[in-house]
Amino acid sequence: MAVSIEELKKASDSLKYALSEPYSDIVRDAAIQRFEFCTELAWKVLRKKMGSSSVAPKAIVREAAQQGLIENPVQWIRYIDARNLTSHTYNEDTARQVFEIVKNFLPDLEQLLPKLEDF
């Protein structure tokens, strides 16, 4: 998997498209899958841009907050927790809860992208 801002932008656009569709179980599941991909790419791009030696997503998020790339590290850690939850188990109630988190994630990701470009 390429770890680049361009790939993260494509993933973000794909998530945005999924969230623009009328709600259904299929749209929800597609948005969650795209969210998983975006969160994974986001912390890896952050790691690469910052030149961090850490391999732990939450540590990368905290470091990014210290460097002014992320405004709310607590929220980003929640995104990582939600991503971990959905990638290891499937449950309808969990899927509904994570879908609500995904809707909050997209604006935060869109806020991060220009900062990454300027970093």
Segments making up each domain of the chain, as ranges = 5-118
Instruction: Count the neighbouring beta carbons within 10 Å of the beta carbon of residue 59.
Output: 14
Look up residue 56 and give its two tokens: 């732990």
pTM of the model: 0.92
The percentage of the chain sitting over the pLDDT mark of 70, rounded to a whole number, equals 97
**What pLDDT sits at residue 90?**
77
The mean predicted confidence, pLDDT, of the chain is 94
**CATH number, span 5-118:** 1.20.120.330
Residues of 13-33 as b/e, b for ≥16 C-beta within 10 angstroms?
Answer: ebbeebbeeeeeeeebebbbb
Nearest by Cα to 84 from 67, 66, 101 = 101
**What pLDDT sits at residue 87?**
72
**What pLDDT sits at residue 2?**
65
Residues with active-site annotation:
83, 88
Cβ(108)–Cβ(72) below 8 Å: yes
Q: Reply yes or no on whether the pLDDT at 1 is more than 60.
A: no
Gap between the Cα atoms of 73 and 71, Å rounded: 6
Category of 23 on φ-ψ map: left (φ > 0), alpha (ψ -120 to 50) or beta: beta
Residue pLDDT, tens place only, 42-96: 999 999 999 999 999 999 999 999 999 999 999 999 999 999 988 766 788 899 9
